[in-house]
Structure 1
Amino acid sequence: MTKKGRWLQGILFLAAFVAGSQSAIAQLIQKPIAFPTNSKYSASGRTLDANDTIQLPFWDDFSSYTGQPSSEWWVSSNDVWVNATLGLHPPTLGVATFDGLNSNGIPHNPTSNFVGPADSLTSKAIDLSVIPANLRSTVYLSFFWQIKGLGEIPNTEDSLRLQFLSRDSVWVTKWVLKGGEENLKEDFTQQFVPILQPEFYHEGFRFRFQSFNKQTGPFDHWHLDYIYLNQNRSPSNNTYFDRALSAAPLSPLKGIYALPLSQFQSAADMLSGTSSFEFFNLDALLQPVEYNIQIVEASTGQLISSVDKNQVVDPIPQGLERRTITSSPVDTEAIKAFLQDKDSVVLNMDLFLKTGDKYLISRVDPLTADTTYFENINYRNNDTTSISLSFSDYTAWDDGTAEYAAGINQSRGQLAYKVVALAQDTLTAIDIHFPRIAPFADGQPLDIIAWKTLTNINPTLLALQRVSVEFREELDQFVRYKFEIPVAVSDTFYIGYRQYTDNFVGVGLDKNNNTGDRIYFNVGNGWVQNDRTDGSLMIRPVFENVPFRSVTGLDENPIEELTIYPNPSEGIVHFSEKPEAVFISDVSGKAIPVQLSDTQRPWSIDLTHLPKGLYFVQYIFQNRNSTFKLILTN
């Protein structure tokens, strides 16, 4: 399991808990998941060996890569996950997150009930022997920290420790951060730690952050950002000539990240919306900022539309100001024209700041004012980001990345997600991202379901298919579950599943885009609209604008233990055994509400109100799914 899979293992109960009542246990549960261990970025483009020794300055703001910490700066740090989502209001877009699981998503010590060492982040060897004795009092390590963020708050007995490696290869603790409410803050806090003792001024100096907390899972979360070690520093010099993005932009298409081409073409004018993003001025002074947002084709970079060009942030950002910026409306007509006659296209919305940021300054000549820079530390790295917009055959409110999983833990419980089709279309399948988390649900039976309504009495079902839970080893991959019979849909409907285990079965939850009011669940007491968790379920409706070809070639009655008669029928259709569910649709795919009599054998459905013609009957019996053609002659 990757580190991303591990995040799905911390628990946040999202419904009320009443002690002593089994039915009152949280009905909708959110769990963190494990994340990738491979770094996708090296800040300088160099490939460095773990045994390489580097020189000051040391700087990493985690903004240009995700997954494993970069080998440019770090060794033995696979347990820590670099991400852009779980810190609240960080200085820059990425943070390094610690919890209680290793890089494989396994608890560090699954049998221990005690606090112990968990994740660690260790620097490469840094040669401090070259620092002159008269400058050693100016050597400081600074960083920004936050506990909890969007995870779980560490307890008061938990801690995050900063340790220095001495000349004698002994790790010496120099700073300790305790968990608990006392250190719970909305924003990140900057910390300065001096390196004073002679024992640390050697060729192989390292520093590391080590979390001490529960080792049985992801129950305590610590976040670090903007780690900087250099000489000629002081705690009073705690600002930086750096203007940085600190939160990724949202989709400008009314929060939708993917749409079928046909639906977008039909409703492009309704989808023109704005995006928003957050940036932070790390300098103490007023600093002007401009930004550009453009829509381009992902594969070629072809410009489709300039949303904002050299847009000035007004008023000028104050020193240490954090600001949320709203873009101009996106030109959906330009996108519509570009998509004409295309089958499947991915577009990028690129955002980049124009700040005047440069490399970290090494020295300014006092006579000539000539400036030299450390070219391996580029403040412009945190000025650029991008999101993807997909146009093919599915709708998505998630951005394709799961930070958590959400689900229920009750047999026959149901989870649903509200969908609005922007034009009449044909629902053919559901895509679901099942992150691999414990207890593993591989092979567990599910009914994937489409509902027209979620009324507590006789909800209108459009389609139902018996399937099983499948996982993909690749990060954030979906499984496509096809319905035997396509269903004509328009306006509002719902998609989801019914499970047959009391174990947690969760689907990916994207925390970046909040469509939590679209989530519904039913654990036996009726449908409940979620009002406690933020995010978008990674359940996607799949459409296909084709004739209903999949209804041909169906067996008349393939389940031998159940007999259905008569066929053709004048309207009353009998079942020799009681099916678990029955669905009727006409040749256009339109679902027809039907009620199965349950008073006595033979069980029956009354279709006498329907005109004569060909219909399709889908039913579930003994956990098997079958469909047959029915001819009405009345």
Structure 2
Amino acid sequence: MIKKIYISLIIIAMCSSAYAQKDTLLDLTMNNAVRAFYNSNSSAIDAKMVYNLFPIISLPFLDDFSQNYIYPDNSLWKDIDAYVNSSFADNPISYGVATLDGLDYTGRPYNFSLPTSYGIADHLTSRKIDLTTIIDSVFLSFYYQPQGNGNKPETKDSIQLQFYRQSDNSWVRMWGAPGSANQAFRKVMIPVDTSFQNNEFQFRFRNWATLSGNVDHWHIDYVYLDENRNHADTALNDVSFITNHHSMLKELTSLPWSHYLTDTIGLMDTAINVTYRNNHSAQYAVFYKYEVIDNNGTGPSIELYPSAASSKNVAAYSNFTEPQAVYNTSPIFLNDFSFPSDFSAQTKVFQIKNYFTVTPADIYTNNDTVNSYQVFGSYYAYDDGTAEVGYGVQGIGSKLAHEFNIRKNDTLKSFQIYFNPITNDLSAESFRLKVWSSLNPEVEIYSQPAALFTNLTYSNTNEFLNYDLDAPLYLTAGTYYFGWEKISAEFLNVGWDVNTNNNTKVHFNSVGVWETASYDGTLMLRPVFGSVTDPQVSVKEETSIDEFEVYPNPASDVIYFKNNNSNSNELYHVELVNIYGQVIIETEFSLPNRIDVSHISNGIYIVRFTNIKTKYPLLKKVIISK
């Protein structure tokens, strides 16, 4: 049965509240990570599609998809339909897989307008490979998994492997599998007989899927083609990371830097956990460390743990999860790391580099290192930034709330919400943003109307939509609940991260009673904080107060500046700064003036005006959305 990407409201005629309407997981329609990446790099990506620029390659052919993100390595693969990621597979063979689904390489459905459309979707095609010098048997091996953390392919949503036969210019089916529920990765070994051994051999994977959404997921891992192999050649002389940690903090993946500084020790987790896998038939000794590097990985190293050599013996064909201490001093002292206090910074980004060495040495070291980033921006978050499925609550008037413990007095400026685009046009749908200080009893402290989308179908926004509060809300430190009340009957399809689990922090109310989310995962909603201008107590008479207007906001091509203080004729240094504190554009001029942002990626930025004479800075937030 063809799946509809957007699940319509199920209307149940009932009078009794005993039949409570519930929360549910929803299918995705697009891949916002791919869309955002493509929109920011479309010229370079389209240039990569010029296949003839690359020469014929030779054996061995090996790709475990650990070194690329979003698209396959174009030195090995002809096309870029598959989505290279580390979040959709369940317990992979190595870190990173290639996912085949119902979306094209821009992250959009092949046929968005027809929910029942079905057919051949993605291709993952090798470049031409020279097999004319082969002197022994050649085998292609790979691992595959249906569904994983994503959407289950139905029986007819199959996957297929084909070889290209030069003699009759045809693609020959060599293997296939019908759709099924999630299962462990399975290995496939296929011999390449002499009829395919020429100077332009190719192989490809392709899948059949519903073409109107991000569904029917297949994951491919560890593709290996070489000679001197046989059917019994099942071992890979390799140890690989298969997971990464999401944060060095307890529960949270991010919070504002000034909020972290209120409790630099209490917010740190006791340990981080990563998992690596021994894919060999013999035991390996693995020595794992992590390193923390300041300034987004370009600054000094501030932590290396453990410093003394120690290793873990990992059995053949097995996974090993090794906790490494972060801040753990009791009952036995292990480590006491916390991010160093920097009261002059507004935001901070740290790179966490995880790596290991093995004895004896493995043959493929690309998957022996994985990096993550600890971001202290303007928001609180539990999620890792990637939605594997959607989440929604049934019923007109239903409410959804995400619980956060706010660490210091601050002003709530906006909500960031990861809404999944859907096939139904809900641009006219509305809801009410809400903040509660308590759910039992229910105490609402803020409410304002909000619209779901504008230009829904092919919006070029990033993953999270930003909803500014009409009136910034000052909150004292404590526990609050951020969310909304639905006005319409339709689901609000919000991102649900299955790689982190904070469902006890997600609450919904569809029949007058607050309940906890029914599924493991994390709601992708983030409250955004930032200091507002304090009341002006006194101003020196000789001081000229400048107030800049930045427009349009959001902007797509050009940002204009206007100084509303008509008496000011000062020269200003103007910088466009991203959320990581990096200066993207800088220039100097007298206002009014403008800067071109047509080449800048979508996102939230700060425009920083610095008076050349007084060095007095002023900040304005701007959203770039194309």
| Cross-structure match for 1:390 | 375
Distance 1:160 1:49, change over 3 A: same
Distance 1:429 1:77, change over 3 A: closer
Does residue 1:500 correspond to 2:487, yes or no? yes
Correspondence 1:185-264 to 2 at 5 A? 185=183, 187-198=184-195, 200-264=196-260
Distance 1:223 1:21, change over 3 A: farther
Helix, strand or coil at the partner of 2:172: strand
The amino acid that maps onto 1:284 is S
| Cross-structure match for 2:175 | 175
Distance 1:416 1:322, change over 3 A: same
| Cross-structure match for 2:51 | 50
Equivalent pair of 2:113/2:423 in contact (CA under 8 Å): no
Equivalent pair of 2:402/2:525 in contact (CA under 8 Å): yes
Give 1:514 shift.
Answer: 1.0
Identify the match of residue 84 of structure 2 among 82, 92, 95: 82
| Cross-structure match for 1:95 | 97
Equivalent pair of 2:6/2:424 in contact (CA under 8 Å): no
Identify the match of residue 543 of structure 1 among 491, 516, 529: 529
Give 1:201 shift.
Answer: 1.8
Distance 1:25 1:465, change over 3 A: closer
CA distance in 2 between counterparts of 1:108 and 1:130 reads 43
CA distance in 2 between counterparts of 1:524 and 1:77 reads 46
Does residue 1:413 correspond to 2:398, yes or no? yes
| Cross-structure match for 2:432 | 447
Give 1:333 shift.
Answer: 7.3
Does residue 1:120 correspond to 2:120, yes or no? no
Correspondence 1:267-286 to 2 at 5 A? 267-273=263-269, 274-286=271-283
CA distance in 2 between counterparts of 1:234 and 1:242 reads 18
| Cross-structure match for 2:66 | 63
| Cross-structure match for 1:349 | 352
Correspondence 1:572-587 to 2 at 5 A? none
CA distance in 2 between counterparts of 1:124 and 1:267 reads 53
Helix, strand or coil at the partner of 1:258: coil
Helix, strand or coil at the partner of 1:121: strand
The amino acid that maps onto 1:325 is E
Equivalent pair of 1:98/1:119 in contact (CA under 8 Å): yes
Taking CA–CA contacts closer than 8 Å with sequence separation of 6 or more, which of the two structures ends up with the larger relative contact order?
2
Q: 437-446 or 69-78: which moved more?
A: 437-446
Helix, strand or coil at the partner of 2:476: strand
Equivalent pair of 2:5/2:212 in contact (CA under 8 Å): no
Equivalent pair of 1:463/1:487 in contact (CA under 8 Å): no
The amino acid that maps onto 1:179 is G
Equivalent pair of 1:449/1:497 in contact (CA under 8 Å): yes
| Cross-structure match for 1:462 | 445
Helix, strand or coil at the partner of 2:351: strand
CA distance in 2 between counterparts of 1:310 and 1:404 reads 42
Distance 1:209 1:347, change over 3 A: same
Identify the match of residue 302 of structure 2 among 277, 301, 304: 304
CA distance in 2 between counterparts of 1:517 and 1:501 reads 26
Distance 1:93 1:298, change over 3 A: farther
Q: 170-179 or 475-484: which moved more?
A: 475-484
The amino acid that maps onto 1:536 is T
CA distance in 2 between counterparts of 1:36 and 1:9 reads 22
Q: 462-471 or 64-73: which moved more?
A: 462-471
| Cross-structure match for 1:510 | 497
Give 1:453 shift.
Answer: 1.3
Correspondence 1:330-341 to 2 at 5 A? 330=327, 335-341=338-344
Distance 1:507 1:310, change over 3 A: farther
Give 1:98 shift.
Answer: 1.5
Equivalent pair of 1:243/1:357 in contact (CA under 8 Å): no
| Cross-structure match for 2:588 | none
Give 1:175 shift.
Answer: 0.8
TM-score (norm 2): 0.73
Distance 1:319 1:48, change over 3 A: farther
Give 1:438 shift.
Answer: 2.6
CA distance in 1 between counterparts of 2:85 and 2:343 reads 36
The amino acid that maps onto 1:296 is I
Give 1:358 shift.
Answer: 6.7
Helix, strand or coil at the partner of 2:384: coil
| Cross-structure match for 2:475 | 488
Equivalent pair of 2:150/2:388 in contact (CA under 8 Å): no
Give 1:545 shift.
Answer: 4.7
Helix, strand or coil at the partner of 2:105: coil
Distance 1:280 1:154, change over 3 A: same
Helix, strand or coil at the partner of 1:267: coil
Equivalent pair of 1:295/1:347 in contact (CA under 8 Å): yes
Distance 1:473 1:128, change over 3 A: same
Distance 1:238 1:313, change over 3 A: same
Equivalent pair of 2:326/2:336 in contact (CA under 8 Å): no
Q: 486-495 or 538-547: which moved more?
A: 538-547
Equivalent pair of 1:359/1:380 in contact (CA under 8 Å): yes
Helix, strand or coil at the partner of 1:259: coil
How many residue pairs get aligned? The number is 505
* CA offset digits 1:237-293 (Å, max 9, x no partner): 221221110011131211322122232122222123111011001111111111111
Distance 1:175 1:514, change over 3 A: same
Equivalent pair of 1:268/1:333 in contact (CA under 8 Å): no
CA distance in 2 between counterparts of 1:264 and 1:109 reads 43
| Cross-structure match for 1:586 | none
CA distance in 2 between counterparts of 1:475 and 1:54 reads 36
Give 1:319 shift.
Answer: 1.3
CA distance in 1 between counterparts of 2:392 and 2:112 reads 26
* CA offset digits 1:43-76 (Å, max 9, x no partner): xxx9895133211111111111221222111123
| Cross-structure match for 2:559 | none
Q: 87-96 or 233-242: which moved more?
A: 233-242
Helix, strand or coil at the partner of 1:479: strand
Give 1:144 shift.
Answer: 0.6
The amino acid that maps onto 2:161 is L
The amino acid that maps onto 1:476 is E
Correspondence 1:512-591 to 2 at 5 A? 512-532=499-519, 534-545=520-531, 549=535
CA distance in 2 between counterparts of 1:549 and 1:385 reads 47
* CA offset digits 1:400-420 (Å, max 9, x no partner): 333333233544332210111
The amino acid that maps onto 1:195 is V
The amino acid that maps onto 1:193 is I
Equivalent pair of 2:396/2:487 in contact (CA under 8 Å): yes
Q: Which blocks of at least 5 consecutive residues in structure 1 are unaligned?
A: 1-7, 41-45, 361-378, 551-634
The amino acid that maps onto 2:162 is Q
Q: 217-226 or 432-441: which moved more?
A: 432-441
Equivalent pair of 2:20/2:510 in contact (CA under 8 Å): no
| Cross-structure match for 2:154 | 155
Give 1:343 shift.
Answer: 1.7
Equivalent pair of 1:286/1:318 in contact (CA under 8 Å): yes
Equivalent pair of 1:412/1:501 in contact (CA under 8 Å): yes
Helix, strand or coil at the partner of 2:513: coil
RMSD: 3.3
Identity %: 26
